[in-house]
């Protein structure tokens, strides 16, 4: 019986399904059977199949191990990189002051 989990937002579900399909294509382009990828990622063939289906119950570390087994783990560090955070950069730009003034000093003190 599958472990019950909290519902996943539909946008997240679609993104995981897309990522799973990309993992499947990357594996097939490399002509690697699921068993080989599973061995390299220290997991099972069934888990690799779940990843390729975009199952949200698979642990992120397992996803990362499978990406590593395919030679794609180097991009994981870029997922939430501040430089690629367009929304955060836009919010930061909105908060910039319109004008910047030099602070006034006491004229009697040098």
User: What's residue 99's pLDDT?
Assistant: 87
Whether residue 44 is contained in a domain is answered as yes
Q: What is the DSSP letter of 42?
A: T
C-alpha to C-alpha distance for 42 and 65, rounded to whole angstroms: 8
User: What's residue 104's pLDDT?
Assistant: 84
Of the candidates 81, 103, 79, 110, the residue with the CA atom closest to the CA atom of residue 15: 79
Domain of 74 in residue numbering reads as 10-94
User: What's residue 109's pLDDT?
Assistant: 62
C-alpha to C-alpha distance for 73 and 13, rounded to whole angstroms: 21
Whether residue 20 is contained in a domain is answered as yes
Give the domain CATH number at 60: 1.10.260.40
58 touches 66 (CB < 8 A):
no
* Cβ neighbours, 10 Å, residue 80: 9
Find all residues with CB under 8 Å of 51, minimum gap 6, and list them.
Answer: 20, 23, 58, 62, 63, 66
User: What's residue 50's pLDDT?
Assistant: 98
Q: What is the pLDDT along the chain (110 residues), one digit of tens a residue?
A: 555 667 899 999 999 999 999 999 999 999 999 999 999 999 999 999 999 999 999 999 999 999 999 999 998 888 888 888 899 989 998 888 888 888 888 666 65
Whether residue 2 is contained in a domain is answered as no
C-alpha to C-alpha distance for 37 and 8, rounded to whole angstroms: 27
Q: For residue range 50-64, list pLDDT tens digits in order.
A: 999 999 999 999 999
């Amino acid at each position: 019986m599958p472990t019950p989990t909290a519902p996943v937002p539909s946008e997240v579900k679609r993104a995981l399904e897309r990522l799973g399909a990309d993992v499947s294509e990357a594996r097939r382009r490399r002509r690697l059977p699921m068993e080989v990828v599973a061995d390299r990622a220290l997991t099972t063939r069934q888990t690799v199949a779940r990843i390729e289906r975009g199952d949200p119950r698979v642990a992120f570390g397992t996803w990362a191990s499978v990406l590593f087994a395919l030679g794609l783990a180097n991009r994981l560090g870029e997922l939430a990189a501040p430089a690629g955070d367009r929304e955060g950069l836009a919010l930061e730009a909105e908060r910039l002051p319109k004008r910047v003034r030099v602070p006034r000093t006491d004229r009697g003190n040098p």
